[in-house]
Amino acid sequence: MASSTLICNTEPWKDLKAHVEEIKKTHLRDLMNDTERCKSMMVEFDELFLDYSRQCAQKDTLDKLLELAEAAQLKQKINRMFNGEHINSTEDRSVLHVALRAPRDKVISSDGKNVVPEVWKVLDKINEFSERFRSGSWVGETGKALTDVVAVGIGGSFLGPLFVHTALQTDPEAIASAKGRQLRFLANVDPIDVARSITGLNPETTLVVVVSKTFTTAETMLNARTLREWISSALGPQAVAKHMVAVSTNLTLVEKFGIDPKNAFAFWDWVGGRYSVCSAVGVLPLSLQYGFSVVEKFLKGASSIDEHFYSTQFDKNLPVLLGLLSVWNVSFLGYPARAILPYCQALEKFAPHIQQVSMESNGKGVSIDGVPLPFEAGEIDFGEPGTNGQHSFYQLIHQGRIIPCDFIGVAKSQQPVYLKGEMVSNHDELMSNFFAQPDALAYGKLLSEKVPKHLIPHKTFSGNRPSISLLLPHLNAYTVGQLLAIYEHRVAVEGFLWGINSFDQWGVELGKSLATQVRKQLNASRTKGDPIEGFNYSTATVMTKYLE
């Protein structure tokens, strides 16, 4: 691809650049008075309500962004993804996480083969296995039923399942199905994380699920060996067969590790790690905890958004609108970060998951054809549930840097509390903040009260700070699936518009190979007293201190 075909060289991009000057003359304080404008910036789908009227944008901004989508061939790129074309060109792979939650009778092909039957073969196997596990017919080495699960994995093999588990943990339906079981995660190679994951658990009643797409990730394999040792030292090496199962695309390495291939749950190289929560990566541990029928609802929720994303016109399409607005904020208004602010404690692990989905996908410096990008792509995602975040980093958002915010609210709480004598329920109190914050950011505050002159600049809020509000009817397995898919597709839309490959992650490889070099050196120094060689002065000095 010649640099002339970069998206920034198209007319719609240039037009949007020029349009920034017009938008800079507006203020959300005024834009919010235009009811017709606000009406046109609200979209509803399947009880999900998106209000993007607090974006620094006018109706014609949207028109121009839609023209940009056309210039970027967004529709064609979405189709190519759903058609199983190898859009992850640097790894020569399809990108088909949508197939993981497709209904049984759907046809989605990769390399000329319908992959949906394979997907359902694994889902059926999970259903059957989790049934045996949960009913107590699968017993451990000492004949006891297994009640607890430790899922060992990192990155995409951890963050998505953790997010979904945390969201379901307080859902009444999920609580009823969990029946006192425990699901824990072990991700960090830090021995502290090992201790946290097994403290209080009995190996006799614990199942370890090793989750790794490649089955080579250093942290996961060391943690897997550590828990294998925990089991075999307590119950004997033969116990591994009954207390360890695996999820991977590399079934040969699973077997080499000592896990019975019958107890391995496959997925495929057309599933990117960070997009794998709907594969056995998430479905197995979550089904062991909550039962397959609950997890199936999660898959259905994600699938409903896949359908919406694929078939809805762009100006009513939730992931497309969100993706277009993200690109507007990052590449045109120059706001590189985004805060993900769920007003729902059950979504506390949503931002960490989306951080990986977004930043590992779109943190790229070259176009899909390898041409250096003359503009910034990717965004810096972070977040915390409200209201906690309000007492932490919101100061910067209100009066410091401009950070577009995603406010996510839930109409009906999983755990309603009404205290006698209080003005509102605890949930209404939470949601009062959900409604107040976007306006505080949009309007700001001009001082009307009497304050000493020197305090005026400190107590003034400039406002004009953009946000979106997304209201979910309730938080359950189905809507958690929807939320996940909206954000997955939003990230894809951004990448398609920027013209990058959102589905590879070469940038994480360098650190891994340098760690290998350090590991060798630490071993040689500790066991043979070898001097530290081959590192720069700084690294060598700190390593020496560490070894001392």
How far apart CA 545 and CA 365 sit, in angstroms, is 36
**In the complex, least distance from residue 405 CB atom to ligand F6P, rounded to whole angstroms:** 27
User: For ligand F6P, which is the closer residue by CB, 273 or 438?
Assistant: 273
Our CA dihedral for 62, 65, 70, 73, rounded to 10 degrees, sits at -130
- DSSP H or E run through 341: strand 337-342
What would the two tokens of residue 391 be? 């007492």
Q: Of 1, 42, 176, 508, which one interacts with ligand F6P (CB under 6 A)?
A: 508
CB 324 within 8 A of CB 317: no
How far apart CA 501 and CA 361 sit, in angstroms, is 8
Q: Of 12, 84, 156, 203, which one interacts with ligand F6P (CB under 6 A)?
A: 156
β-bridge partners, 445:
461
Task: Report helix angle 477-498 to 292-311, nearest 10.
Answer: 40
CB 66 within 8 A of CB 316: no
Residue nearest to ligand F6P (CB): 273
**In the complex, least distance from residue 268 CB atom to ligand F6P, rounded to whole angstroms:** 13
Our CA dihedral for 364, 368, 372, 375, rounded to 10 degrees, sits at -60
**In the complex, least distance from residue 14 CB atom to ligand F6P, rounded to whole angstroms:** 35
**In the complex, least distance from residue 72 CB atom to ligand F6P, rounded to whole angstroms:** 25
**In the complex, least distance from residue 285 CB atom to ligand F6P, rounded to whole angstroms:** 14
Alpha helix segments (H runs only) across 312-403: 318-327, 350-362, 394-399
The answer to whether 391 is a known catalytic residue is yes
User: For ligand F6P, which is the closer residue by CB, 93 or 274?
Assistant: 274
What would the two tokens of residue 537 be? 């002065």
Q: Residue type for 92, please? A: D
How far apart CA 487 and CA 85 sit, in angstroms, is 21
| Site for ligand F6P contains 214 (CB under 6 A) | yes
Q: Of 101, 213, 243, 489, which one interacts with ligand F6P (CB under 6 A)?
A: 213
Nearest Cα to Cα of residue 217 among 185, 258, 188:
188
Site string for ligand F6P, 260-279 (x = CB under 6 A): -------------xx-----
Segment interacting with ligand F6P (CB under 6 A) among 61-69, 179-187, 211-219, 364-372: 211-219
User: For ligand F6P, which is the closer residue by CB, 74 or 357?
Assistant: 357
What region, left, alpha or beta, does residue 379 occupy, with left being phi > 0 and alpha being psi -120 to 50 degrees?
Answer: beta
User: For ligand F6P, which is the closer residue by CB, 61 or 217?
Assistant: 217
Could you give the C-alpha distances from 147 to 130, 164, 207, 275, 288, in angstroms and in order? Answer: 11, 19, 8, 28, 9
In the region spanning residues 359 to 388, those forming contacts with ligand F6P, defined by CB under 6 A, are 360
Which of 219, 296, 360, 379 is the catalytic position? 360
| Site for ligand F6P contains 154 (CB under 6 A) | yes
**In the complex, least distance from residue 355 CB atom to ligand F6P, rounded to whole angstroms:** 12
**In the complex, least distance from residue 505 CB atom to ligand F6P, rounded to whole angstroms:** 5
**In the complex, least distance from residue 151 CB atom to ligand F6P, rounded to whole angstroms:** 12
Q: Of 197, 212, 414, 437, which one interacts with ligand F6P (CB under 6 A)?
A: 212
How far apart CA 103 and CA 99 sit, in angstroms, is 8
Segment interacting with ligand F6P (CB under 6 A) among 44-52, 114-122, 151-159, 383-391: 151-159
User: For ligand F6P, which is the closer residue by CB, 56 or 154?
Assistant: 154
CB 383 within 8 A of CB 348: no
User: For ligand F6P, which is the closer residue by CB, 134 or 274?
Assistant: 274
How far apart CA 265 and CA 246 sit, in angstroms, is 6
Q: Of 157, 232, 358, 362, which one interacts with ligand F6P (CB under 6 A)?
A: 157
User: For ligand F6P, which is the closer residue by CB, 424 or 508?
Assistant: 508
What would the two tokens of residue 128 be? 């059957």
Which of 14, 121, 391, 474 is the catalytic position? 391
CB 314 within 8 A of CB 320: yes
Segment interacting with ligand F6P (CB under 6 A) among 106-114, 152-160, 306-314, 532-540: 152-160
Nearest Cα to Cα of residue 54 among 26, 32, 22:
32
User: For ligand F6P, which is the closer residue by CB, 214 or 355?
Assistant: 214
The answer to whether 256 is a known catalytic residue is no
**In the complex, least distance from residue 508 CB atom to ligand F6P, rounded to whole angstroms:** 4
User: For ligand F6P, which is the closer residue by CB, 157 or 387?
Assistant: 157
What would the two tokens of residue 486 be? 């909206």
Which of 17, 24, 113, 512 is the catalytic position? 512
| Phi, psi of 97, rounded to the nearest 5 degrees | -60, -20
How far apart CA 119 and CA 141 sit, in angstroms, is 31
Q: Of 58, 217, 289, 464, which one interacts with ligand F6P (CB under 6 A)?
A: 217
User: For ligand F6P, which is the closer residue by CB, 7 or 357?
Assistant: 357
Q: Of 12, 84, 155, 291, which one interacts with ligand F6P (CB under 6 A)?
A: 155
How far apart CA 406 and CA 384 sit, in angstroms, is 11
Q: Which residues contact 75 (CB under 8 A, 6 or more apart)?
A: 69, 314
How far apart CA 353 and CA 144 sit, in angstroms, is 35
How far apart CA 203 and CA 218 sit, in angstroms, is 23
Task: Report helix angle 116-135 to 280-290, nearest 10.
Answer: 30
Segment interacting with ligand F6P (CB under 6 A) among 19-27, 148-156, 302-310, 420-428: 148-156
Q: Of 53, 94, 177, 220, which one interacts with ligand F6P (CB under 6 A)?
A: 220
**In the complex, least distance from residue 356 CB atom to ligand F6P, rounded to whole angstroms:** 7
Size of the site for ligand F6P (CB under 6 A): 14
| Site for ligand F6P contains 223 (CB under 6 A) | no
Q: Which residues bind ligand F6P (CB under 6 A)?
A: 154-157, 212-214, 217, 220, 273-274, 360, 505, 508
Catalytic residue numbers read 360, 391, 512
